[in-house]
Structure 1
Amino acid sequence: MKNLIIVVAVIFTCLSFASKSNKIISGRVTDKNGKAISGVLVKSIPASTTTITNNTGNYSIQIPQNRKYLSFSAVGYLSKEVLIGKNKILNVELNLTSDSLFDVVAVGYVAQAKAALIYNRKTMSIPMQSINQSLKGRVAGLVANSNQYFYPSPQQNDERYADLAENSFKYARTTPLSTFSIDVDAASYSNIRRFINTGNLPPTDAVRVEEMINYFAYNYPQPTGKNPVNIITQVSNAPWNHQHQLVQIALQAEKVATENLPPSNLVFLIDVSGSMSSQNKLPLLISSLKLLTDQLRPEDHVAIVTYAGNAGVALPSTSGENKIKIKDVLNSLMASGSTNGAGGIEKAYEIASENFKKNGNNRIILSTDGDFNVGMSSDKELEKLIKSKRNSGIFLTVLGFGMGNYKDSKMEILADKGNGNYAYIDNVQEARKVLLNEFGGTLFTVAKDVKLQIEFNPQFVQAYRLVGYEDRLLKSEDFNNDKKDAGDMGSGHTVTAFYEIIPTGVKDTLLKNIDPLKYQKNILENSPAKDELLTVKLRYKTPKGNKSKLMTKVVENKITPLENCSQDFRFAAAVAEFGMLLKESAFKQNANYSNVIKLAENAKGKDSEGYRTAFLQLVKTAKDLKGNEAVNNYQPHVLIYHHPSHNATEKQYSSGK
């Protein structure tokens, strides 16, 4: 008993000492205009504790009493070390990094002497008056902010996006079936956010409306029966044309508690080629995967495969218990050389197969900018490679990083054909969302090859249009073909799709003029489904199954006024309208930014993570950019020269999508 008392006393003394030896520092990080900066890495010096700022720029960190400095760093900003002193509240202002500031010479449509562009070496900027006089506003892709600084436009680059024809209206009498594979990817939203936050509207091909909608979390009811997926539907008037109807078809996947998730066999496949050297690529990638490493359990294992000119194993399969060892390998990575992405993919599947967990989650996490330039590199070759691996039981997650040479089209193919999902990481906050907040959905599949087929009743539906999902369309016969690949849903995932409907009897210029059909009238008059607007059919397989299961739901012809629809319906509709505006859709009709803002503001809800609030700010910024767009379409080549002190070489940004 005496010994027990001594032990308790010692523990109490140690705890008391520990609490006295630590201190808590809180504060807010902003830019020079007072705007909050989220995702800032805050760490003590010497480093022992780290945290990051939240959506409002706030942070709180507990550090040892003897730490005198805090370090603040974020992509796109100059790092800063701040003396703590006796402060308990430490607010910090970060300045934009000078790496983004350039001497500029425009070559092409503007015949202007280089000397006319006066470069201020103290502020490392070009005065607006100088650039306006020299280029006369004709150089697309040079953006000035209120501080007179200029940045290269993301539109002046070698990024690649798939060119897809937008879905048009189809007559329900002649084409009553609409079939598509679900899509849980959200890369398009964070990518277009990157464009807008750097002062540019995105290329229209970069806008995939369904990925924008599915970026956000929705409070749909969980499945209650044996099926791991629930079907939710609502019908209202289309916000951009009140004569049209908007049908929401939503899916909610079963959410599995983390402790009940199967053990993981993961392979971090990391691009360490020379194109990954910039701060928003490999350094951000490493920070992201370290966040994921913190979520690993002892029963989880991870290997690290890297590729540049060749592929190699940087870390053999290692238990998640050894987090320090995994992070040490991540911290040791450096970018150099060419990019043999196909070689890396082959090696990653080899390592994943060697460590395959029969009853576990086997997955490769590919992190890259997609710029493959050695070996197998064409989209078709890579698609063939990934298809050959699809039946191995190994899933694929693709994380995209960077800008300038970003290859979105290539990474979409890899994720779509490799039984996987695709996210674009533009900051640490996004990494936290994808790899922490949505950990189960990103990594653990509960239903695979999920397909939807909607049959429209021509008695009420004259024509319909699927909003988005252009690269997910399937043939009618593909729905019952279990060999046809489709999208996968992870733990807790939601999927939202919208159909815009032109009701029977409504005259509309969006419809093509065709003659009435001779043999359909009698069929319609004798239809037994007079109260049904449409029928939803869903097929899915279990993660290890090869035979699909069928679910059906009938949607009645009942219209709920928009103001009475759920917040999730109204907010998702606002995102869809915003996507059509950014895409410059031929079907945007009366859509406008003011309507998007009003609809989203009234449907924001609790928004505990702040994503919907951030969406509203993004729409407002896009609205301002749209109002300030250049009225011409000049696309000159722009030669960019760093200040000599930046120790960088000449770059050329060529126009192109």
Structure 2
Amino acid sequence: MHNLSLFLLLVALGPAATGAQPAPPAAPAAVTSTRTISGRVTDAQGQGLPGVTVLVKGATLGTSTTANGTYVLAGVPARGRLLFSGVGYVTQELPLPAAGQPLNVVLLESHQSLQEVVVGYGARQRHDVTGAVATRPAPAPVMAPPPPLQQQLQGRAAGILITPARTSRQLKFTPPVVKRDEEVWPARPEAGAGDTYAKVQENAFQAVKQAPLSTFSLDVDNASYTNVRRFLNEGQLPPRDAVRVEEMLNYFRYQLPAPAASSPDPVRISAELSECPWALGHQLARIGIQAKNIETASLPPANLVFLVDVSGSMDEADKLPLVQAGLKLLVRQLRPQDHVALVAYAGAAGLVLPPTAGNRQQEILDAIDRLQAGGSTAGGAGLRLAYSVAQQNFQKAGNNRVVLATDGDFNVGESSDAAMEQLIVQQRETGVFLTVLGVGRGNLRDSRMELLADKGNGNYAYLDNLDEARRTLVAQFGGTLFTVAKDVKLQIEFNPARVASYRLIGYENRLLASEDFNNDRKDAGELGAGHTVTALYELVPLGSPNPLVDQLKYAPQNVLLPAGTAAEVLTVKLRYKEPQGSASRLLAQPLAGAATPIAQASADQQFAAAVAEFGLLLRQSEQRGTATWASATRLAQAGRGPDADGYRAELVRLIGLAEGLGPASKAVGAR
């Protein structure tokens, strides 16, 4: 029986690989006709197989079988072939049936157990399950925990950096070795080797006279902060493009005023103005958005589909085992009205657990425990199947969501970002949202996962440890999984009598054109229950002694005099839609008054400034001004506040780690 991965490769290569003669070209038709194909997929014993992927060969058109193995596929071209694939079964390629005839298929079990992932569900025998239970290949060596930071720094001082041992499989290359005093040491791999991050071109200052409006899509992702934390805890500074300042800001909760109980709006705007700690004479405007809190018991019913990557790249201690542990924590939060299905994908996609009520937790936990890793990664097929399962069990008044857990390393089927984006954009129109949980290192596809969450009306979190999984899936259960406002856009208008120029800190990949703000067809970000969002602007006041550009020689000589401090600095406008709505609503909030000295600003203002300063230093930003590790530490300490969960104290510790690992910081332009 052919290996499934080899079969898919031969299919991708076409007739030249199989030795088959290509079919003669068909005569051109005046009109392209399509039809609907239906049938049933069973195993060798005649039992219906749920979750089998049915695809038109060479196209993106496809569906999956229902709980009893039936399928209906509309819009099929008059000529073509169908592919039937399921986890643990040999893929079949069949010609289309005669017009009006069903196409019933029998799939045979695959016995290549060490090559592909195999999963099962329920307490049934091997021949009854959607995927066959296989012997798990020997796991990769578990990476030892990093040595204490003091030991690492002592090694750096001696010219030797002590690092945990890693396998070449984890790093995707064999690290060279260096000799020192007749001892062989593994060479330190470059931070983020094998990972992919989107290029971040930092926002520049904009003159208010030329660009009075700043427009961007709201972003509640916080994956960058936890990924940065992972690098620092392992004794490395993160790659520059792994640092997205807005995601670091939005990792933390701030004391923002919540929407009034009587308000019809699920969000509320607030703003604060202070001096900028890293640029003398500049000001820092903080804009905060608070979504309404909803008690878990009052949240609408959840229709969740866990989509778990169980390909070979997930067979590491910080990947699939971490995902399993995190999902089990989430399952314990489910209510009887909630339903969960489990889909796994590797060389093919399969339904591991059909939709199961939240009060049947042991069945869900058992299914999660049975997941094993191996094989290639059919991410596109997995997404299609997960969305299909979610749509079949759609809750009109509930929360319908796919929760994708992966390292993002798709290499079978739709593997390009453009193809994955197209698939997600098509599916989000059904009302099913997407949450992406990223894990691992060495082949982390951060840019792809951020893109999927952005286009899928969802959010992206990176799990660097089990505590972060608990925070994301348990402590922030409502914010992570329940949307209260979608397509949320912000537009800030600056008063030229108060502000000469401005710079948005972060959000580089969320910028929108000014006209996009009033365009309800333009996709934007989503807000979950209880979420807070923070945006920072560095402002150059009108009449500042440090103007960015010289006075124009040929410009009209209409000199605008600075307005008094009572005048408005800016106005924040926000548009949002109801989770299932199509028309947006508008909110607005002005910010006026004098800039408060940073030492007298609120704890949240000081802490947000510390996070931004930390991010600017990690990125070695050209806009970091006089920022230093010591300054960021002082601000973070001053802004800690009550800090019941200890996350703000952790930031202080991470700044200390970064300072010890990096070169001494100095002001831009200093000698």
TM value normalised by structure 1: 0.73
1:521 equivalent in structure 2: 558
**Does the 8 A contact of 1:533 with 1:555 survive in 2?**
yes
Shift of 1:294: 0.5
Residues 162-561 of structure 1 mapped to structure 2, 5 A cutoff: 162-224=198-260, 225-508=263-546, 511-513=548-550, 515=552, 518-519=555-556, 521=558, 524=560, 531-561=567-597
Q: Secondary structure at the match of 1:521?
A: coil
Aligned-partner Cα distance in 1 for 2:245–2:421: 23
Residues 544-623 of structure 1 mapped to structure 2, 5 A cutoff: 544-623=580-659
Shift of 1:354: 0.2
Change beyond 3 A, Cα 1:514–1:363: farther
Change beyond 3 A, Cα 1:316–1:186: same
**Does the 8 A contact of 1:173 with 1:520 survive in 2?**
no
Aligned-partner Cα distance in 2 for 1:76–1:216: 29
**Does the 8 A contact of 1:187 with 1:424 survive in 2?**
yes
Shift of 1:555: 1.0
Q: Deviations over 1:112-132 (max 9, x none)?
A: xx7x84xxxxxxxxxx6446x
Paired residue type of 1:577: E
Paired residue type of 2:634: K
Aligned-partner Cα distance in 1 for 2:283–2:664: 33
Give the alignment's Cα RMSD to 1 decimal.
2.8
Change beyond 3 A, Cα 1:516–1:382: farther
Aligned-partner Cα distance in 1 for 2:241–2:576: 30
Shift of 1:496: 0.3
Q: Secondary structure at the match of 1:545?
A: coil
Shift of 1:506: 2.1
Q: Secondary structure at the match of 2:572?
A: strand
**Does the 8 A contact of 2:256 with 2:290 survive in 1?**
yes
Aligned-partner Cα distance in 1 for 2:451–2:360: 33
Paired residue type of 1:581: L
Change beyond 3 A, Cα 1:601–1:544: same
Q: Deviations over 1:492-551 (max 9, x none)?
A: 000000000011122447x355726745837x5799998111111110111111100001
Paired residue type of 2:359: E
Shift of 1:558: 1.8
1:59 equivalent in structure 2: none
Q: Secondary structure at the match of 1:328?
A: helix
Paired residue type of 2:439: F
**Does the 8 A contact of 1:266 with 1:362 survive in 2?**
yes
Change beyond 3 A, Cα 1:353–1:200: same
Change beyond 3 A, Cα 1:75–1:284: farther
Q: Deviations over 1:210-239 (max 9, x none)?
A: 000100111211111221111110000011
**Does the 8 A contact of 1:366 with 1:399 survive in 2?**
yes
Q: Secondary structure at the match of 1:283?
A: helix
Shift of 1:429: 0.5
Change beyond 3 A, Cα 1:526–1:290: closer
Q: Secondary structure at the match of 1:241?
A: coil
Q: Secondary structure at the match of 1:495?
A: strand
Shift of 1:564: 2.0
Aligned-partner Cα distance in 1 for 2:281–2:224: 30
Paired residue type of 1:349: Y
Aligned-partner Cα distance in 2 for 1:194–1:528: 46
Shift of 1:99: 5.9
1:89 equivalent in structure 2: none
Q: Deviations over 1:229-285 (max 9, x none)?
A: 111100000111131000000000000111110000000000000000000000001
Aligned-partner Cα distance in 2 for 1:394–1:520: 55
**Does the 8 A contact of 2:566 with 2:592 survive in 1?**
no
Change beyond 3 A, Cα 1:321–1:535: same
**Does the 8 A contact of 1:210 with 1:496 survive in 2?**
yes
Change beyond 3 A, Cα 1:130–1:496: farther
* Aligned-pair identity (%): 51
Paired residue type of 2:654: L
Shift of 1:75: 8.0
Change beyond 3 A, Cα 1:242–1:130: farther
TM value normalised by structure 2: 0.72
Aligned-partner Cα distance in 2 for 1:227–1:383: 31
**Does the 8 A contact of 2:347 with 2:375 survive in 1?**
yes
Task: List alignment gaps of at least 5 residues for structure 2.
Answer: 1-141, 147-161, 666-671
Q: Deviations over 1:33-57 (max 9, x none)?
A: xxxxxxxxxxxxxxxxxxxxxxxxx
Change beyond 3 A, Cα 1:77–1:430: same
Change beyond 3 A, Cα 1:230–1:129: farther
Paired residue type of 1:266: L
Q: Secondary structure at the match of 1:317?
A: strand
**Does the 8 A contact of 2:168 with 2:175 survive in 1?**
no
Q: Deviations over 1:431-489 (max 9, x none)?
A: 01101111100001111111000011111111100000000000000000000011000
Change beyond 3 A, Cα 1:219–1:288: same
**Does the 8 A contact of 1:459 with 1:530 survive in 2?**
no
Q: Secondary structure at the match of 1:568?
A: helix
**Does the 8 A contact of 2:143 with 2:165 survive in 1?**
no
Q: Secondary structure at the match of 1:434?
A: helix
Change beyond 3 A, Cα 1:241–1:98: closer
Q: Secondary structure at the match of 1:201?
A: coil
Q: Secondary structure at the match of 2:280?
A: strand
**Does the 8 A contact of 1:154 with 1:404 survive in 2?**
no
**Does the 8 A contact of 1:75 with 1:427 survive in 2?**
no
Aligned-partner Cα distance in 2 for 1:266–1:288: 15
Aligned-partner Cα distance in 1 for 2:291–2:427: 25
Task: List alignment gaps of at least 5 residues for structure 1.
Answer: 1-73, 79-95, 118-127, 143-151, 630-657
Q: Deviations over 1:310-360 (max 9, x none)?
A: 111000000011111111111111100001111111111100000000100
**Does the 8 A contact of 1:220 with 1:232 survive in 2?**
yes
Paired residue type of 2:312: G
Aligned-partner Cα distance in 2 for 1:261–1:108: 50
Q: Deviations over 1:281-326 (max 9, x none)?
A: 0000100000000100110000001100111100000001111111
Aligned-partner Cα distance in 2 for 1:355–1:75: 41
Shift of 1:205: 0.5
Greater relative contact order: 1 or 2 (C-alpha under 8 angstroms, separation 6 or more)? 1
